[in-house]
Amino acid sequence: MNKVDSIRAMREKLLAGRGGGAGTARPQEAGVVRKILEKHGRRASQIIAILHDMQGVYNYLPEPDLRLISRELDIPLTRLYAIATFYKAFRLVPRGRHEVSLCMGTACHVRGAMRVKDAIERELGIKAGGTTDDMRVSFETVRCLGCCGQAPVMVVDEALVTKLDHLTVGTTLEKYR
Amino acid sequence: MTVGVCADTGCRACDSVNVYEAFRREVARERLRKVEIKATGCHGYCEKGALVVIHPRGILYTQVKPGDVPEIVAKTLKKGEIVERLLFLDPATGKRIRLEGEVPYYKKQMRLILGNNSRIDPADIRDYIALEGYEALRRVLEHGKPQAVVKTITKSGLRGRGGGGFPTGVKWDTARKARGERRYVICNADEGDPGAFMDRSICEGNPHSVIEGIIIGAYAVGAHEGYIYVRNEYPLAVEALTVALEQARECGFLGKNILSSGFSFDISISRGGGAFVCGESTALMASLEGRPGEPRAKYVHTVEKGLFEQPTVLNNVETWANVPKIILGGLDWYTKIGTGDVSTNPWGGSKGTKIFSLVGTVRNTGLVEVPMGTTLREIIFGIGGGVPEGKTFKAVQTGGPSGGCLPESLLDLPVDFDALTGAGSMMGSGGMIVMDEDTCMVDVARYFIDFLKDESCGKCLPCREGLRALLEILNRITEGRGKRGDIRLLEEVSEGVAETSLCALGGSAPNPVLTTIRYFRDEYVAHIRDKRCPAGVCKPLLRFAVVSESCTGCHACFKACPASCITGKAKEIHVIDETKCIKCGACYDVCRFEAIAR
């Protein structure tokens, strides 16, 4: 993790001097991508790990950077697209500052996760998979976080919230709005 | 004295990290030199987190908060007294129980694999070594020829814990004999079944037991490279395994010339990308090679041509963790646990223990490890304490999305690989989800097919299109648009999907539909013919209304309604405006007078 942290720090340093918006080309960040590629020995078989690290830096997979990887590792862009869309962990659009992931595993389902989902959607005013207009919160559903003993559960920015209830979940989310 | 604080994902949600920190602070402040505080892996009794066990006596404190710590330190650690109020309260007798081993939940289990979780700090290899860790590896490298190890595992009757139940020794033997430039071993930690988390808990709580198993397996089949493929949703497991591998390397259990035996082997970790199908062996290997995880037909087995076209042994986390136990305990001991006779036929029985994640609407949720052959009733009622809040048991779902729902009448079924398959379900990786009267079985079938439709990789037509067709019919039924003949249609499509799909995902996908039709046909009929959901789950079939005789005008439903569709003043009968009702059920849940009908 330390390497990712150092890459993240490097990126923040790079971004500090300018107001680059998401999705625009950022040639000066080629260093970030190259550093990740070096970490994985520039091996094409490591592409999933490479994309994980990239997303760890940007919180999504920006197109210019994917194009750069395609050139550097000689992997067709179509294949990168196939991988990025096949695996749920990857996303091609930026997400909000806070991420809410509600577990829809079986244990959560039988303990009322559907109703919690409806309540969150009402509270945030977006559907699952969406991001609020102010880019503050993204909400998605996931399949089993493996904490079935305390179902229903959700993860808000890496913190696990357990034993959810559709009557009270709105209050829990208030501080992220 | 050792204080083991559960710091697993589940207990962390109950503030266990702060409990751990509080112990460290208090013990340092009181200068208790002989007390060691450990942040351990999952103890299994997730319902009662945060859990604290004090060894050597084995005192168990449940639901510990950071604020309770000074009292525990002052009383138990300094004076040896018990803090009564934090002991487990047995609901059956109303008495407090002191020791971990005497709590009914643990007493009825046989915790071969999970038992050491409360004694080990997963980030310290010395803890594992102190409990005979890496002793099995040493013995194998010093005395055992690779063939002898394979033979031992075959004779033990160990079968794959990931769901397939294939004899591990047979798999190893084929891989050992297969031709190839090099061989690979893989640990499948892509625990995708919703409702199962035993592999996560083993990886987070006792990672070295898995690593030791993998090294022994690699030695037996002649592999020099290994992979652990971990699910993306399990960041803590990745961390625990990374630390454990690093320490195993430092100690000379991994790397070149392991324990001066001349055998070299190393393991790397690969993170998954959040795709359920990657739990399938060929899909997992495709993913390891850096491709989308699509399975292939297995007319050539992966033990002959697997990862990078080389002979590959892939076993599940729990299977690997069993290996050192078998080597240390010996065949006589291991084959006494479980069912059947495996002395001549490795398929002849189910040996050893199995870990189940007992979850859903059951009183004691958590991880349960029992000998093979234990009945479902013993697990759900004996250990799990039955269904809470006076509700009645309806079904238990085993085997994840590929498994089935079994009714009350089958609760005396012994749990092993063959008995569950015979009943139309399967062991799977060990998820056991208990469902009560408030669970709609048609909705459960719809839920699983919806899950599998999303997770189908789309490579073969029967799975891709068949599941979509099944979902369409199930959606129709749960929305009150079911037609006569829909049940027959479901059965027909199911048969097609099961028979003709490429991999096990499609092959077992119809199980939830077929078992719910087989055991809960009346619920399907109620939905299709009477347009009624007996459990009150399927929204389009629900109508919420106030029962005026029971309404006290307490105003609770008025406050709870998010759609503001309830009118009425305090102490007057309330009314629900059905045109505005979003059927969220909030009023039903807050009403204490049973004055809301649905």
- CATH number, position B304: 3.40.50.11540
Give me the residue from B361, B454, B584 closest to A118, CB to CB.
Answer: B584
pLDDT band at A22 (very low <50, low <70, confident <90, very high): very low
Instruction: Give yes or no for residue B578 having a pLDDT over 50.
Output: yes
pLDDT band at B488 (very low <50, low <70, confident <90, very high): very high
Q: Are both B395 and B361 inside the same structural domain? A: yes
- Which domains does chain A carry? 2-86 (no CATH), 98-174 (3.40.30.10)
Query: Of B75, B107, B139, at which residue does a domain stop?
Result: B107
Amino acid code (one letter) for B512: P
User: Range of B57's domain?
Assistant: 2-107
Q: What number of other Cβ atoms are within 10 A of residue B142's Cβ?
A: 10
Structure tokens at B467: 């599941």
Q: Is A90 on the interface with B (CB under 8 A)?
A: yes
Placement of tokens 């079904």 in the chain: B395
Question: In angstroms, what separates the C-alpha of B593 from chain A's closest C-alpha?
Answer: 18
Asked if the Cβ–Cβ distance from B431 to A106 is below 8 Å, we say yes
Q: What is the pTM of this model?
A: 0.89
For chain B, give the mean pLDDT: 92
Q: Are both B195 and B300 inside the same structural domain? A: yes
Instruction: Give yes or no for residue A28 having a pLDDT over 70.
Output: no
Map residue B167 onto helix, strand or coil.
strand
Q: CATH number of the domain that B405 lies in?
A: 3.10.20.600
The number of folded domains in chain B is 5
Q: Are both B42 and B71 inside the same structural domain? A: yes
Q: CATH number of the domain that B524 lies in?
A: 1.20.1440.230
- pLDDT of A167: 87
Query: Of B498, B528, B558, at which residue does a domain stop?
Result: B528
- Is the omega angle on the peptide bond into residue B178 within 30 degrees of 0, that is, cis? no
Within-domain flag for B10: yes
Q: Considering only CA atoms, which of B116, B177, B183 is closest in space to residue B324? A: B116
What is the predicted ipTM? 0.84
pLDDT digits (tens, 9 = 90+) for A46-103: 999 999 999 988 889 999 999 999 999 999 999 999 999 999 889 998 888 899 999 9
Q: Is A37 on the interface with B (CB under 8 A)?
A: no
Asked if the Cβ–Cβ distance from B290 to A46 is below 8 Å, we say yes
Chain B residues with beta carbon closer than 8 angstroms to that of A162:
10, 13-14
- pLDDT of B585: 87
pLDDT digits (tens, 9 = 90+) for B316-348: 999 999 999 999 999 999 999 999 999 899 999
Asked if the Cβ–Cβ distance from B360 to A111 is below 8 Å, we say yes
- The Cα–Cα gap between B525 and B571 comes to 41
- pLDDT of A14: 44
pLDDT digits (tens, 9 = 90+) for B84-95: 999 998 887 889
Spell out the alpha helix ranges (H) of B501-545.
504-508, 511-519, 521-528
Placement of tokens 């969150």 in the chain: A120
- pLDDT of B211: 97
Q: Is A88 on the interface with B (CB under 8 A)?
A: yes
Within-domain flag for B101: yes
Instruction: Give yes or no for residue A41 having a pLDDT over 60.
Output: yes
- pLDDT of A23: 39
pLDDT digits (tens, 9 = 90+) for B119-160: 899 999 999 999 999 999 999 999 889 999 999 999 999 999
Question: In angstroms, what separates the C-alpha of A128 from chain B's closest C-alpha?
Answer: 15
Q: Is A4 on the interface with B (CB under 8 A)?
A: no
Map residue B470 onto helix, strand or coil.
helix
B227: left (phi over 0), alpha (psi -120 to 50) or beta: beta
Within-domain flag for B347: no
DSSP for B237-262, written as a single string: HHHHHHHHHHHHHHTTSSBSSGGGSS
Structure tokens at B191: 């625990």
- The Cα–Cα gap between B271 and A47 comes to 11
Map residue B313 onto helix, strand or coil.
strand
Within-domain flag for B326: yes
Burial (CB count within 10 angstroms: exposed 0-12, middle 13-18, buried 19+), residue A101: buried
pLDDT band at A1 (very low <50, low <70, confident <90, very high): very low
Chains A–B, number of C-beta pairs less than 8 Å apart: 162
Q: Is A48 on the interface with B (CB under 8 A)?
A: yes
pLDDT > 90 fraction of chain B, expressed in percent and rounded: 75
Instruction: Give yes or no for residue A17 having a pLDDT over 70.
Output: no
Chain B residues with beta carbon closer than 8 angstroms to that of A115:
584-585
What number is the average pLDDT over the span B26-53?
A: 89
- pLDDT of A7: 53
Instruction: Give yes or no for residue B400 having a pLDDT over 90.
Output: no
Give me the residue from A111, A143, A149 closest to B194, CB to CB.
Answer: A143
CB contact at 8 A, B118 and B6: yes
Instruction: Give yes or no for residue A3 having a pLDDT over 70.
Output: no
Within-domain flag for B535: no
More confidently predicted of B36 and B424: B36
Q: Are both B129 and B93 inside the same structural domain? A: no
Q: CATH number of the domain that B576 lies in?
A: 3.30.70.20
Within-domain flag for B64: yes
- pLDDT of B217: 97
Q: Is A73 on the interface with B (CB under 8 A)?
A: no
Give me the residue from B289, B431, B585 closest to A115, CB to CB.
Answer: B585
pLDDT band at B274 (very low <50, low <70, confident <90, very high): confident
